[in-house]
Amino acid sequence: MDKRALVPVDYIPGSKPLKIAKYERYARYRAQALSRTEAFRKSGNEAATYKIAHNNASRLENRPGVKDRIDYLTKQAEERLIEKRQRIEEHLWNVHEARLPDFFEAYEAIKRDHTGQPEKNEDGSLSLEKRVRPKLLTDLSPDLAKLIEDVNVDNRGMLIPKLYSKAQAGKELRNMLNLNAKSEAADVTKLSDQELLQTLAQQAKELGIKIDLNYTFAQLPPTNEPDEQDVQVIDHDSESDKR
3-class SS string, the chain = CCCCCCCCCCCCCCCCCCCCHHHHHHHHHHHCCCCHHHHHHHCCCCCCCHHHHHHHHHHHHCCCCHHHHHHHHHHHHHHHHHHHHHHHHHHHHHHHCCCHHHHEEEEEEECECCCCCECECCCCCECEEEEEEECCHHHCCHHHHCCEEEEEECCCCCEEEEECCHHHHHHHHHHHCCCCCCCCCCHHHHCCHHHHHHHHHHHHHHHCCCCCCCCCCCCCCCCCCCCHHHCCCCCHHHHHHHC
CB-CB contact of 58 with 1 (8 Å): no
Q: What is the pLDDT along the chain (243 residues), one digit of tens a residue?
A: 445 544 444 567 888 889 899 999 999 999 888 899 999 999 988 888 999 999 999 999 988 899 999 989 988 888 888 888 889 999 999 999 999 999 999 999 999 988 889 999 988 899 999 999 999 999 999 999 999 999 999 988 889 999 999 999 999 988 888 776 665 555 556 667 677 777 777 777 777 777 666 655 555 556 555 554 444 544 544 444 445
Predicted local distance difference test score (pLDDT) of residue 231: 45
**Contact present, 13 and 20 (Cβ < 8 Å):** no
